[in-house]
């Protein structure tokens, strides 16, 4: 069984303590977001990326498809 050295554990534990302390938490913003359904009929979308061609590329976990979706029209 591999053992971790204390030098590997302490920096991580220290950073978690600092980042989770109340003085270092980020406050919720007041920004408003709008939502819009772009495409329907997807079979469990798994990953969505915005491609260099200005389209959304979607992989499905159960449909085993890769879809290219135009975000302006929803056309597949």
Alpha carbons 22 and 37: distance in angstroms, whole number: 36
The pLDDT tens digits for 51-62 are 999 999 999 988
Can you tell me whether residue 38 is helix, strand or coil?
A: coil
Spatial contact of 76 and 39, defined as CB atoms under 8 Å apart: yes
Can you tell me whether residue 21 is helix, strand or coil?
A: coil
The DSSP H or E segment spanning 45 is strand 45-50
pLDDT of 10 above 70? no
How far CA 12 is from CA of 4, 9, 24, 26, 58, in Å, comes to: 12, 6, 16, 20, 35
The pLDDT tens digits for 21-70 are 555 566 777 888 888 888 888 888 889 999 999 999 999 988 889 999 99
Where in the chain are the domains?
Answer: 38-76
Confidence category of residue 1, pLDDT binned at 50, 70, 90: very low
Write down the pTM of the prediction.
0.55
Please give the pLDDT value at position 29.
79
């Amino acid at each position: 069984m591999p053992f971790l050295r204390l030098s590997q554990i302490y920096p991580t534990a220290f950073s978690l303590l600092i980042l989770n302390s109340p003085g270092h938490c980020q406050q919720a913003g007041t920004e408003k977001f709008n939502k819009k359904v772009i495409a329907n009929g997807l079979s469990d979308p798994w990953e969505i990326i915005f491609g260099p061609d200005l389209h959304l590329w979607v992989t499905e976990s159960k449909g085993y498809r890769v879809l290219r979706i135009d975000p302006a029209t929803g056309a597949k």
